Amino acid sequence: MKFFVDTAEVDEIAELNDLGMCDGVTTNPSLILKSGRDILEVTKEIAGMVDGPVSAEVVALKAEDMIAEGRKLAKIAENIAVKVPMTWDGLKACGVLAAEGTMVNVTLCFSANQALLAAKVGATFISPFIGRLDDINIDGLDLIDDIRTIYDNYGYDTQILAASIRSVNHAKDCALIGADVMTAPPEVIKKMANHVLTDKGLDAFMKDWAKTGQKIL
């Protein structure tokens, strides 16, 4: 499973990228606001840091305006994926941009039917939001499973980009189901390395090592 980093903070991206933990980046208007940066400037910087796709989101609501914004964003770098909302206008924009050879990430997906429509118009990625479904007592992982089944049934190339990842269990379960990509905040990716028994075992090793009185360096 590929890891996309869900942030517009370049220092956090650089750290994970250096470790080989960053296969791409996703941004959105909320993350741009949090960074305090100009959208075009920070997107260009991020796209120059990583080899994989960098999702940059349109803010228009009408298809023709989304297309115009998408074309401008796509000119920033070759690895830009234009992010459009899962609306009828978003689908229209996706179809046009995809036909022009632009990577398109259809976001705010909350149903398998929406994911099917996105695949039909040529989306590169579909972004189902797990955590937001969990917030309203619907199991977001069931949606990932449903989309995986539908895409496999018909051989769609659209990649499932599991989004709104809130926990390390979300990450694990998405990998088990077969999501192509997960996008998560840096802190969630880092927490995947943690386990109480690892900490306990390391503590015991260090105490025993101290008793030997030895040094390696």
**DSSP H/E element including 62:** none
**DSSP H/E element including 207:** helix 196-212
d(CA 10, CA 164) in angstroms, rounded, equals 20
Amino acid at 40: L
Query: Residue with structure tokens 């741009």?
Result: 32
- Phi–psi pair at 40, nearest 5 degrees: -70, -40
What amino acid positions are annotated as catalytic residues? 83
Residues forming a β-bridge with 163: 129
3-state secondary structure of 72: helix
Length in residues, the chain? 217
